[in-house]
Structure 1
Amino acid sequence: MASSSSCSSSVSFGVILVWLMSCFSYGNGCYTSIISFGDSLADTGNLKQLGSISNREVFPLLLPPYGENFLNQSTGRCSNGRLIIDFLAERLGLPLTPPFLQDNGNNNMVTFKQGVNFAVAGATALDPSVLEPRGIVNPMTNASLGVQLAWFKQSLPSICGNESNCRDFIGRSLILVGEIGGNDYNYPILWGQPIEEVEVLVPLVVDTIISTINELIGMGAKTLVVPGNFPVGCSASYLTVCGSQNEEYDPKTGCLVRLNQFAEYHNKLLQTKLKQVRDLHPDVNIFYADYYNAAMEIYRFPYKYGFTNGALKACCGGEGRYNVDPTVQCGEVSATVCDEPDTHVSWDGIHLTEAAYRVISKNLFSTPQFNSLCSTSTSGVGLSGSL
């Protein structure tokens, strides 16, 4: 367990209303597919399939009550239902984005023409070769951002054929790069490494994300959405493991100030680097999705959004002030589940409920007239782009 001194650090941003403009449109004005990279915030089943391929013990987060809002229950999603990427696909009129790894050995390339998801729960941005010398071991998967990009490159000939057709396919796709990087920090901080030591990873993580974006642009990407990190100081798991009388809490939200400052440090650096990429590629739309402030809206005003059981307590987990017990994971027989998940923001202490993801998605990607990201002159909360 982490000691209280290991959990340190972010200046709070106000929620900014910005205009999303000048999106590329094709044919009927919509993107023809979604291509996604990331971790558990976007994984729609890849970790579940990786576990099946390797015959390893099933992770609790792949078992009910995860995915309980779906007819077939556990879908490999780290929530009780849909994720942000699912709500985005619905708004674009596309099928829910399927995981790249499939039971049929990836013979699903026709489906992938409308979307393919390479995100893996537990994934880091940095490769194990970078993390392990720093004493950081990923206990879940080695499917780092580099591995996911390699999968994408390997799959292209089967999805779209020759290089010209694949450039067209990529150019017509909405590409999500992230959220990614959170686990590079989660593992060391939750295992007791001081935040001051973890901060040195931030430039490495951001540079890895930017390098991936540049590769995708080189392959023909025209529209990319790059999310920032969530306010981890509001996470029930962090509050349980890192909270102490020595920590400063935000009086309005009850979140850990220093941890949110750490997330903001990552987000600021990411936005700075994205601006540099935009300057080099003025013909490419690169949008920063402000997950941090979209989520902070909920943490500041939970009752406004129907979260009558508060924003900080987990729905599924164990005992304790935040319904989190590090020895009891959601998905295990000994875990408890709340009666009304839609009234909770936190699902399992790390991930959010479907209801919270719905609100965040709406705040990021919706207006009353908003039907798809490829509409012009639409507004959203915390989504900023290149002009």
Structure 2
Amino acid sequence: MGLWRVLVTGSLLVSWVLSAAVVGGGNLAPCDFQAFYNFGDSNSDTGGISAAFEPIRAPYGEGFFHKPAGRDSDGRLIVDFIAERLKLPYLSAYLNSLGTNYRRGANFATGGSTIMKPNETIYEYGISPFFLGMQIVQFDQFRARSAELYNQVKGTQEAEKLPRAEDYARALYTFDIGQNDLSVGFRKMSLEQLRAALPDIVNQLATAVQHLYQQGGRAFWIHNTGPIGCLPVNLFYVSNPPPGYLDEHGCVKAQNEMAVEFNVKLKDRATKLREELPEAAITYVDVYTAKYGLISNAKSLGLADPLKVCCGYHVNFDHIWCGNKGTVNKSEVYGAPCQDPSVFISWDGVHYSEAANKWIADHTQNGSLADPPIPITQACHRM
């Protein structure tokens, strides 16, 4: 009934627990994460796409931040609840140019990001140019540039806003990306073509993890992709779905099945990464099950129809997106928010409400849907 630990004593990892095994139970020590770095899409973007392009406007962010905060929600995202659980500040976007503090990490996620390199512009379908490979390039640039600046201002207050070299090995690296690769695939490929592309997509994510490991990263928290077929936007333009098109909860069945296939391959690849990266603690997190569980149990939880949208005007085939104005039957219509976002799962048809994000965070960060089954506060441990 004991616990043994292997302490790694490299120059960047002195006294930090990277590897542990539990024999018959027992509790692991909490990790002393000094920072965390996130890579992803709009599910975890805390201001990147707003900094690079047109800022996200009200009523986004007004539920918690009381103003637009670069997030595609009425309030906090899962990545914000990660920060709270780790007792770290909310992440500033790497692309922010003013008022940023990167001592405790940075966020490289941008809305519309894919794992694979896109071959269309953001102005066509909203796909970000900052795909995962570019986010990794930005991380490398961030690390090199911040080290140079730190040496210039060492010992001053400005240095307190910059990461310390030794903290990269004591950081958590989080990933939440892949949903947009599927959405692009549904738009451009047959299901067979997309299925054939899944291994390459997953391998590109693995390549990013390998690169960060080579740069000293050791703890990785990897979200799988959610039930994309349950996003209300996928039903906005469907009037009479054929038999078998939807599942028992009204979600697009084939899209969810593809997400499940992606997740199976991602989990298998994470298992192989543990063998390839012997000092890495890699946690695969089943966000799909949490999100689908929330959607399928919405009624018993006292929530609104999960396929209904809180913010925006979506009646018949007239669609005015959240925070926008448009004309319907010669009258101006505003895509307003609902009175109580806390009972809605979908904020705007694509993104989750803060209340849903918190529920999902509570049901994933405790480790119950993680492989290995450890909470995020202990994700530095190899098991």
Residues 356-371 of structure 1: matches in 2 within 5 Å?
A: 356-366=356-366
Unaligned segments of structure 2, at least 5 residues: 8-15, 19-28, 152-162, 326-333, 369-373
Conservation of the 8 A alpha-carbon contact between 2:37 and 2:172: yes
What's the TM-score, normalizing by structure 2? 0.78
Could you tell me how far 1:93 is from its partner in structure 2?
0.6
- On the 8 A contact 2:220/2:379 being kept in 1, the answer is no
- Following superposition, the deviation at residue 199 of structure 1 comes to 2.8
Q: Deviations for 1:340-370, whole angstroms, at most 9, x for unmatched residues?
A: 11101011111100000000000001389xx
Identical-residue share of aligned pairs (%): 27
User: Given that residues 225 and 259 in structure 2 are in contact (C-alpha distance below 8 angstroms), is that contact kept between their aligned partners in structure 1?
Assistant: yes
Q: Is the 8 A contact 2:313 2:321 kept in 1?
A: yes
Work out the CA distance in 2 between the residues paired with 1:326 and 1:170: 48
Of 151-160 and 272-281, more deviation after overlay is shown by 151-160
- C-alpha offsets along residues 2-46 of structure 1, whole Å, 9 cap, x if unaligned? xxxxxxxxxxxxxxxxxxx99965998421111001100000001
CA contact (8 A) 2:312 2:319 kept: no
Aligned to 2:264: 268
Task: Indicate whether 1:168 and 2:166 are aligned.
Answer: yes
**Structure showing greater Rg:** 2
Q: 1:28 to 1:262 in 2, by over 3 A?
A: closer
CA shift in 2, pair 1:320/1:216, >3 Å: same
Higher relative contact order (CA 8 A, sep 6+): 1
Where 2:37 maps in the other structure, the secondary structure is strand
Give the direction of change, closer, same or farther, for the CA distance of 1:28–1:230 in structure 2 (3 Å limit): closer
User: SS of 2:362's equivalent?
Assistant: helix
Displacement of 1:240 after TM fit? 2.7
| Superposed counterparts of 1:248-287, under 5 Å | 248-251=245-248, 253-287=249-283
Q: Which amino acid aligns with 2:104?
A: Q
- CA change 1:146–1:158 in 2 (3 A) is same
Q: Which residue of 2 aligns with 1:95?
A: 89
In structure 2, relative to structure 1, the CA distance for the partners of 1:238 and 1:376 (3 Å cut) is closer
Please name the residue that 2:35 is paired with.
Answer: 33
Structure 1 residues 202 and 376, CA gap change in structure 2 (3 angstroms): closer
The alpha-carbon deviation at position 326 of structure 1 amounts to 7.1
8 Å CA contact retained: 1:80, 1:353 = yes
SS in 1 for 2:284: strand
Match of 1:116 in 2: 106
Deviation, 1:83, is 0.2
Using the size of structure 1 for normalisation, the TM-score is: 0.78
Q: What residue number does 1:290 align with?
A: 286
Q: Which residue of 1 aligns with 2:76?
A: 82
SS of 1:374's equivalent?
helix
Q: Contact between 1:82 and 1:357, CA under 8 Å: does it hold in 2?
A: yes
Q: Out of 311, 314, 320, which is 1:319 matched to?
A: 314
Amino acid corresponding to residue 30 of structure 1 in structure 2 = D
Distance of 1:264 and 1:169 partners within structure 2: 35
Q: Which residue of 1 aligns with 2:328?
A: none
Which of residues 58, 62, 72 is equivalent to 1:68? 62
Question: Comparing both structures, which one devotes a greater share of its residues to strand?
Answer: 2
The reply to whether residue 232 of structure 1 matches residue 222 of structure 2 is: no
Q: Tell me which amino acid in the other structure corresponds to 1:361.
A: A
Match of 1:184 among 176, 181, 184: 181
Q: Deviations over 1:170-227 (max 9, x none)?
A: 21111012x21211221352x4754333333322211110110110111111100111
CA–CA separation in structure 2 for the residues paired with 1:328 and 1:188: 25
CA distance in 1, matches of 2:346, 2:177: 19
Q: Which of these residues, 107, 116, 120, is aligned with residue 126 of structure 1?
A: 116
Q: Closer, same or farther in 2 for the Cα pair 1:38/1:67, shift >3 Å? A: same
SS at match of 2:293: helix
Tell me, yes or no, if the aligned pair for 1:175 and 1:221 is still in contact at 8 Å: yes
* Cα distance change, pair 25–85 in 1 and its aligned pair in 2 (3 A): farther
- State the match for 1:55 in structure 2: none
Shift of 1:242: 5.3
1:121-142 residue CA offsets vs partner (Å, 9 max, x unmatched): 01111113xx45xxx9654431
Secondary structure of 1:200's counterpart equals: helix
Q: Distance in 1 between matches of 2:91 and 2:355?
A: 19
Following superposition, the deviation at residue 246 of structure 1 comes to 4.0
Q: Which residue of 2 aligns with 1:149?
A: 136
Aligned residues: 335
